[in-house]
Homo-oligomer: A and B are copies of this chain.
Amino acid sequence: MGKVTATYLVHDKKGNLNKKAEDIALGLTVGSWTNLPQLEKDQLEKHKGTVESVTELESDSAADQYLGSSRTKGLLKISYPAANFSPDLPAILTTVFGKLSLDGEIKLVDLELGKSLAQQFPGPKFGVDGIREKLDVYNRPLVMSIFKGVLGKDLEFFKEQLRQQSLGGVDLVKDDEILFENPLTPFEERITAAKQVLSETETITGEKTLYAVNLTGRSRNLRDKARRAVELGANALLFNVLSYGPDILQELAEDKEISVPIMAHPALAGAAGSSALYGISYSVLLGKILRWSGADLGLFPSPYGSVALKREEALGISNALTEESAVHRAAFPVPSAGIHPGLVPQLFSDFGINSVINAGGGIHGHPDGAAGGARAFRQAVDAAVSGVSLDVAALTNKELGTALELWGGVAAK
């Protein structure tokens, strides 16, 4: 059945990283070892955790000062036999970072599943290739936009906003993650309205648009609600996975009747991901875990907006969603927040062709409205893919020119 291997970043008080690693490897598995009788050792051998490596890092004086004592910084890599837990994420997370998460300055920075264990997880049902097939778009990053200000507005407002975004050429539109079940734009009515609008715009543009409706409510109802959404013609789902738990995402991904891509929103991720000393790294939290659980698209803050991750964190998530795997399809990385057309070359350079350019204000705030905003993004994407500078592209692309005037252009580093 294999094993799971966790890597921890520690800022340790006691200074003996080898002992700390050994204490963790035993403490989270068989408890103790050295003084056990041979008979018990034989019995427990297959359950014993293993220290894979211990790497001392250069000490971090800023952290030491903040923590008020000199610490030994290092990476501890420890593996846990799969015989110890059931093959589900709640069991794995409880094993590798349950009690341990409470034990001082320790951060879970990587998590690897052995192949047989990885095969217990579905991964994306569609992923990059499946979504490209649905959209029939293969040669560029996708463009996505976000509904703005639907809360408190009626279905006509919703429909008109969707129409404009789709006419402008976005590939995907998502609900705002804080739009829940409500009397003005109920879940089922948003789906049927969107289906009608998007079939109209497709006849005009010749392009498909996926609308990710926000799947919300009590856990027990999600599966049926998602199935019902698909029956009604929904073509994608948005899901606030961390406010439910990754196992719930996995259940949705495993359900064959929920035959549409699932977009994972990073809501709440900052609670565990923000600290350099504690918690779970974003590449694990928003990358690996969400891909294993079956997210087809994973949103995260880009390094460039007002709500921003560090560049290496954003790239770490993107890498985790897309890196070569013999088991799981690649998921689309969706760097988000504060994106305007001028950032497209940088995003393309960072995240590559298999990524999604996602904007809210950068679409809706365009002087020519959401349709103009969407066109400006498509123009910027075409320029980036062709290696044409935005300034040059703007000469023959009006909406892009307007966007660059408003927000400026950023050359890729």
The chain A residues found within 8 Å of chain B, CB to CB, are: 28-32, 43-44, 46-47, 62-63, 65-66, 68, 83-86, 88-91, 93-95, 97-106, 108, 148-149, 151-153, 177-178, 180-182, 216-220, 223, 240, 243-245, 247-248, 251, 265-275, 277-280, 301, 306-307, 309
Is B151 touching A101 in the complex (CB atoms < 8 A)? no
> Chain B residues with Cβ under 8 A from A101's Cβ?
267-271, 274
Is B47 touching A151 in the complex (CB atoms < 8 A)? yes
Copies in the complex: 2
Residue A178 contacts which of B66, B94, B301 (CB distance < 8 angstroms)?
B94
Given A102-B266, A103-B307, A272-B279, verify A152-B217 contact (CB < 8 Å): no
Q: Please, how many angstroms separate the alpha-carbon atoms of A241 and B172 in the complex?
A: 34
Is B240 touching A90 in the complex (CB atoms < 8 A)? yes
Residue A218 contacts which of B88, B106, B182, B274 (CB distance < 8 angstroms)?
B88
> Chain B residues with Cβ under 8 A from A29's Cβ?
151, 178
Is A84 touching B47 in the complex (CB atoms < 8 A)? no
> Chain B residues with Cβ under 8 A from A106's Cβ?
270
Q: Please, how many angstroms separate the alpha-carbon atoms of A294 and B153 in the complex?
A: 35
> Chain B residues with Cβ under 8 A from A272's Cβ?
271-272, 279
Residue A216 contacts which of B83, B91, B274 (CB distance < 8 angstroms)?
B91
> Chain B residues with Cβ under 8 A from A217's Cβ?
86, 88, 91
Is A31 touching B65 in the complex (CB atoms < 8 A)? no
Q: Please, how many angstroms separate the alpha-carbon atoms of A63 and B62 in the complex?
A: 10
Given A84-B178, A91-B216, A272-B271, verify A243-B240 contact (CB < 8 Å): no
Q: Please, how many angstroms separate the alpha-carbon atoms of A4 and B76 in the complex?
A: 41
Is A271 touching B267 in the complex (CB atoms < 8 A)? no
Q: Please, how many angstroms separate the alpha-carbon atoms of A65 and B43 in the complex?
A: 51
Residue of B nearest to A62 (CB): B66
Residue A30 contacts which of B44, B93, B152 (CB distance < 8 angstroms)?
B152
Identify the 5 closest CB pairs spanning chains A and B, nearest first: A98-B267, A101-B270, A245-B245, A102-B270, A66-B66
Is A177 touching B218 in the complex (CB atoms < 8 A)? no
Is A178 touching B98 in the complex (CB atoms < 8 A)? yes
Q: How far is the CB of A18 from chain B (nearest CB, A)?
A: 18
> Chain B residues with Cβ under 8 A from A28's Cβ?
178
Residue of B nearest to A267 (CB): B98
Q: Please, how many angstroms separate the alpha-carbon atoms of A99 and B84 in the complex?
A: 35
